[in-house]
């Protein structure tokens, strides 16, 4: 059985299958057709792995305090917070989604502000 994060993954054909690589240098019409047929383009190596991991870590660090992530893990992994009793407001965390959505919305607005001032790229490195 295939597992990820201690969960069993379905191996049904509609849930798991081979990913087919695409070459980013192919004609755009070929890439569009492949995307239309498969629902994805697998462009392995197109982005620098270290940049992707760095950006991912930055995003998850900036989601700290929203209640979406487990905060006792390295942020580059982005481990989702388990549904558990929310000690802050006495509710199950599944019912405190409105507060989490507002916290995430606030973070996104801050990020867009940073993008507008070109501060974002400087702080990412």
Same domain for 42 and 53:
no
| pLDDT at residue 35 tops 80 | yes
- Model confidence, pTM: 0.50
Place of tokens 């507002």: 102
Q: For residues 52 and 95, which has the higher predicted lDDT (pLDDT)?
A: 52
Least confident of 10-14, 36-40, 55-59, 96-100: 96-100
- Work out the mean pLDDT of the chain and round it to a whole number: 75
Q: For residues 124 and 81, which has the higher predicted lDDT (pLDDT)?
A: 81
Same domain for 101 and 40:
no
Place of tokens 């990913």: 19
Q: For residues 67 and 43, which has the higher predicted lDDT (pLDDT)?
A: 43
- Taking the C-alpha atoms of residue 22 and residue 36, their distance in angstroms, rounded to an integer, is 13
| Domain span including residue 68 | 49-124
Whether residue 74 is contained in a domain is answered as: yes
Whether residue 8 is contained in a domain is answered as: no
């Amino acid at each position: 059985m295939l597992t990820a994060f201690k969960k069993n993954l379905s191996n049904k054909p509609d849930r798991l299958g081979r990913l087919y690589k695409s070459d980013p240098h192919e004609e755009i019409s070929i890439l569009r057709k492949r995307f239309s047929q498969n629902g994805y383009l697998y462009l392995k190596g197109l982005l620098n792995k270290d940049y992707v991991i760095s950006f991912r870590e930055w995003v998850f660090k900036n989601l700290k305090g929203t209640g979406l992530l487990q905060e006792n893990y390295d942020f580059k992994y982005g481990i989702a917070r388990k549904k558990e009793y929310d000690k802050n407001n006495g509710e199950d965390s599944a019912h405190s989604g409105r507060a989490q959505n507002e916290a995430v919305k606030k973070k996104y607005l801050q990020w867009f502000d940073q993008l507008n001032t070109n501060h974002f790229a400087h702080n990412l490195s």
